[in-house]
Structure 1
């Protein structure tokens, strides 16, 4: 008996949030075999769509069709810390039954629990090893694992279940470079239907097609993300060329309409002159006047119609040109002179054991990339420098105004508006000044009055970054902890633009190597028990060969 190939589809799909905010209306999508990268702006509905297909959300209208079983890895993985690893993998019952069979103490229920899966334990250990989790075994508890290991454990459970359709939402968040490499390999080897939402360029290079969700519709681009960018650039160049042609046409039609009106005015003046001089019989002049008026009316209507058509062509051409907002700001107050001492670390031992032996200094507008594996102490180091944690020994001294943006973005008060949140950091700035500055961060008009708790992930990050960069006094040292987590590609570009305008010293902890390379890093530091210099090339080598 043949089975239909695995697939996902929806037609005339509608979905609204409980407060009435619409996400999808009359939405259509069909996804077949292969690896699909689903991209789009923050708030476009990517994660919502995955949750609908995973059965976590119920659409308000339309039809869903799912051929095959579905496995879903959400953006935020939460596991009960008391769970054993084999329970998290979903094999605890089968494993216990298998052990009972091996001990000669099996019941019929045990044989039923094992079924045909006699190698379940070997498959589980092999899957863990494939994802770099061989050391954790099957008997430890989830509470002993790092956040990145929990993500990989959830993925291991999905791979063991062997679903026909795999849905991954920002799977590389919180994964260090080696863990990302293993996830890339798992994605590359996937043979069923796979839909992944991600801002990770390295991961998007491994898909077969890109689905671009924009304005409630999906446009398909064959190939990986690089191919998508090339096609989109050519498409936008053509669209912009069509806009220029349409603009020229509108100007020409305006000119012709103006010239026609001048000619008609001249004819009218000539007719009036003939009428005043009474050189022709009254009946002839009346007939001439009526004919002239009819001709003038037709002429005017023809040119007006041509102008309206030209404007319509211009509007149509302009719709094809993407106008993704960009952050354009000037932050001269953040400028740090070259050579000025910004940060000093002396024989620092962190709360969880990592060290920065000897003396480390950051001077001038340096841009430091802080890299290292999950649990190596990067966040602990940043929090220690920010004064949120005490060091076990040694000292971390900041010599300039310093601001720290944590992963959790918890510096915003959810009940206050964006304007009110920024005002907390700049108490001497007037409301008008704050609004003018926020407009450069794309919070214009009513957007600046929205409560922080209603913002999307990208908007919340932008608001938090604005609060820090517009703070009084202006930060001369800015520290960011995994800033690209949960940001779509457009938001990552906006973050890069904002950091281009920042003129102070920068320390960024991140696993996102392409992002780090895009912001002009001047020094790379690796924390792996101790702090020491590294290079972008060495980081990439550790990603692929470590």
Structure 2
């Protein structure tokens, strides 16, 4: 057996408000590829921060065999950031170019160290990843990349830096089919320890083990996602069988206790009749013996029933009954003939009206997000890269969830403050109720939004749409399944299919789109 690369020893972590994420966890990650899974809000992002040293356990410790690199869910894509920034080589490139330009500042030589071929290695890494960027494109602004191109470039940067342990947090977000294939190939060829946080079934078929975070505990299972699912199914079946058996024993013990009470009552009544003809001292002695016997009988049956109830409780805890999102979107009252949006793709115009569902599809870089931004009138809307392509909203009641959720949430505001800010007329109790239905409850409601996972951030943003007054007539969602666990994605499909307003969605999740029963797909391509 290989030596583990990451070891958690009696590790606990709780937020200052008392919310427990880990409770005395002892576990180890192997030196290969591990898929870290768990429901939204289970604490995967917190565990990642513990692995990278960004957070310190409140109890126990985390040890690693080397430094840890991280591709976070939310990486910086500022206006001044370039491809070199995503790769993590900009400082060395700047120093190298300064030296080549004649600047002999010793600091530049310290930064470059012995990595004189960094530019060539960066280009080679991008080419190997299938991005095919020219040398000049290392200076290309990140803002000009699609979401998928940015993610794949950032993953390439992690691989280029070559630290012994790497963590990729939801790396398939925003990737089209081709890019997903390139990522899977990178994962298969990865050198060193790799931890992948993901809800992506396809990606999880490319790992060596699964680590599941659930209810504050962490368990590891050898094999891929399908093997993990099969094992869970077997465990669940066994747990339900044990629960049924324990419940049968409890029912039997209850029947025996009732029968015993009936027998005791009958004996007591018969004893009273016979005691009437006995001397008082003899009758009292007989009554005391009968009461003592009855007490022992009651105690024995009560203990047996209590043990049976404990077995039921223990068996019940082994049955996986996870909470699920309970979401109902408001009825927007949109007539079937109401025109809500107009799309022009290469000169051909299509109108969305009434409760129709449209998808915008195409490869990374084709301008899907740009088209949505033009539809909703985003402040930084830029010209569409495809000629004769544009979008126009025909209603001002739009619910907009962008690909980058950080654009919607102020990191320094609490969850409650954010939702109350977008729904100022809604009573606080109703805000809390809506968040609870989305599994954002308890102390989490009063935490800053920067502490939330990607899935939790999506649900908080969604709560704002649900409570908006007046309710939106048109929902515009950019990659809504990013960061969502499988159960929440399933429920989101049901909700959107029942939605009686217009829907425009961008997603690379083909299964998700197929399940929505779309009215139209608008394809953006170079043809």
With the shorter chain as reference, the TM-score category is: 0.7 to 0.9
Distance apart, 1:201 and its partner CA: 2.3
Q: What is residue 398 of structure 1 aligned with on the other side? A: 394
1:355-404 deviation digits (Å, cap 9, x = unpaired): 45222022443332222334432223223333446797976243695322
> Given that residues 415 and 460 in structure 2 are in contact (C-alpha distance below 8 angstroms), is that contact kept between their aligned partners in structure 1?
no
1:269-298 deviation digits (Å, cap 9, x = unpaired): 11112223x1x4445433432221121111
* Counterpart secondary structure, 1:26: strand
1:93-127 deviation digits (Å, cap 9, x = unpaired): 599889999xxx9x9x9899786x78766543332
* Counterpart secondary structure, 1:140: helix
Please list, as runs of the form range in 1=range in 2, the aligned pairs for 1:455-474 lying within 5 A after superposition: 455-474=452-471
Q: What is residue 129 of structure 1 aligned with on the other side? A: 127
1:319-372 deviation digits (Å, cap 9, x = unpaired): 1122222234555724666x53443426x4xxxxxx452220224433322223
Residue 10 (structure 2) aligned to one of 3, 12, 19 = 12
The CA distance in 2 between the partners of 1:509 and 1:54, in whole Å, is: 32
> Given that residues 85 and 138 in structure 1 are in contact (C-alpha distance below 8 angstroms), is that contact kept between their aligned partners in structure 2?
no
> Given that residues 422 and 471 in structure 1 are in contact (C-alpha distance below 8 angstroms), is that contact kept between their aligned partners in structure 2?
no
Q: What is residue 159 of structure 1 aligned with on the other side? A: 159
Distance apart, 1:449 and its partner CA: 6.7
Distance apart, 1:66 and its partner CA: 2.0
The CA distance in 2 between the partners of 1:216 and 1:27, in whole Å, is: 8
> Given that residues 341 and 353 in structure 2 are in contact (C-alpha distance below 8 angstroms), is that contact kept between their aligned partners in structure 1?
no
Q: What is residue 301 of structure 1 aligned with on the other side? A: 299
Residue 501 of structure 2 is aligned to residue 511 of structure 1: no
The CA distance in 1 between the partners of 2:203 and 2:500, in whole Å, is: 31
Gaps of 5+ in 1: 349-354, 531-546
Gaps of 5+ in 2: none
Please identify, of 519-528 and 128-137, the stretch whose mean Cα deviation from structure 2 is larger: 519-528
The CA distance in 2 between the partners of 1:120 and 1:264, in whole Å, is: 89
The CA distance in 2 between the partners of 1:419 and 1:264, in whole Å, is: 62
Please list, as runs of the form range in 1=range in 2, the aligned pairs for 1:152-191 lying within 5 A after superposition: 152-191=152-191
Distance apart, 1:303 and its partner CA: 0.8
Q: What is residue 261 of structure 1 aligned with on the other side? A: 261
> Given that residues 415 and 444 in structure 2 are in contact (C-alpha distance below 8 angstroms), is that contact kept between their aligned partners in structure 1?
no
> Given that residues 264 and 294 in structure 2 are in contact (C-alpha distance below 8 angstroms), is that contact kept between their aligned partners in structure 1?
yes
Distance apart, 1:441 and its partner CA: 3.4
Residue 355 of structure 2 is aligned to residue 357 of structure 1: no
Q: What is residue 85 of structure 1 aligned with on the other side? A: 84
Give the 3 Å change call, closer, same or farther, for CA 423–295 of structure 1 in structure 2.
Answer: farther
The CA distance in 2 between the partners of 1:287 and 1:508, in whole Å, is: 84
Please identify, of 383-392 and 253-262, the stretch whose mean Cα deviation from structure 2 is larger: 383-392
Residue 213 of structure 2 is aligned to residue 213 of structure 1: yes
* TM-score normalised by length of structure 2: 0.82
Please identify, of 376-385 and 309-318, the stretch whose mean Cα deviation from structure 2 is larger: 376-385
> Given that residues 27 and 220 in structure 2 are in contact (C-alpha distance below 8 angstroms), is that contact kept between their aligned partners in structure 1?
no
Q: What is residue 49 of structure 1 aligned with on the other side? A: 47
The CA distance in 1 between the partners of 2:525 and 2:513, in whole Å, is: 19
Q: CA RMSD in A?
A: 4.0
The CA distance in 2 between the partners of 1:445 and 1:120, in whole Å, is: 49
Q: What is residue 537 of structure 1 aligned with on the other side? A: none
Distance apart, 1:132 and its partner CA: 2.2
The CA distance in 2 between the partners of 1:93 and 1:453, in whole Å, is: 30
The CA distance in 2 between the partners of 1:449 and 1:85, in whole Å, is: 38
Give the 3 Å change call, closer, same or farther, for CA 473–158 of structure 1 in structure 2.
Answer: closer
* Counterpart secondary structure, 2:455: helix
Residue 485 of structure 2 is aligned to residue 495 of structure 1: no
> Given that residues 331 and 499 in structure 2 are in contact (C-alpha distance below 8 angstroms), is that contact kept between their aligned partners in structure 1?
no
> Given that residues 395 and 473 in structure 2 are in contact (C-alpha distance below 8 angstroms), is that contact kept between their aligned partners in structure 1?
no
* Counterpart secondary structure, 2:202: helix
Please list, as runs of the form range in 1=range in 2, the aligned pairs for 1:60-79 lying within 5 A after superposition: 60-78=58-76
Residue 25 of structure 2 is aligned to residue 35 of structure 1: no
> Given that residues 98 and 110 in structure 1 are in contact (C-alpha distance below 8 angstroms), is that contact kept between their aligned partners in structure 2?
no
The CA distance in 1 between the partners of 2:518 and 2:90, in whole Å, is: 45
* Counterpart secondary structure, 1:135: coil
1:433-478 deviation digits (Å, cap 9, x = unpaired): 6665555434567766767666544333223223323434443432
Q: What is residue 386 of structure 1 aligned with on the other side? A: 376
Residue 289 of structure 2 is aligned to residue 291 of structure 1: yes
Give the 3 Å change call, closer, same or farther, for CA 134–459 of structure 1 in structure 2.
Answer: closer
Give the 3 Å change call, closer, same or farther, for CA 232–368 of structure 1 in structure 2.
Answer: farther
* TM-score normalised by length of structure 1: 0.79
* Counterpart secondary structure, 2:211: strand
The CA distance in 1 between the partners of 2:4 and 2:326, in whole Å, is: 45
Give the 3 Å change call, closer, same or farther, for CA 487–377 of structure 1 in structure 2.
Answer: same
> Given that residues 12 and 60 in structure 2 are in contact (C-alpha distance below 8 angstroms), is that contact kept between their aligned partners in structure 1?
yes
> Given that residues 426 and 470 in structure 1 are in contact (C-alpha distance below 8 angstroms), is that contact kept between their aligned partners in structure 2?
no
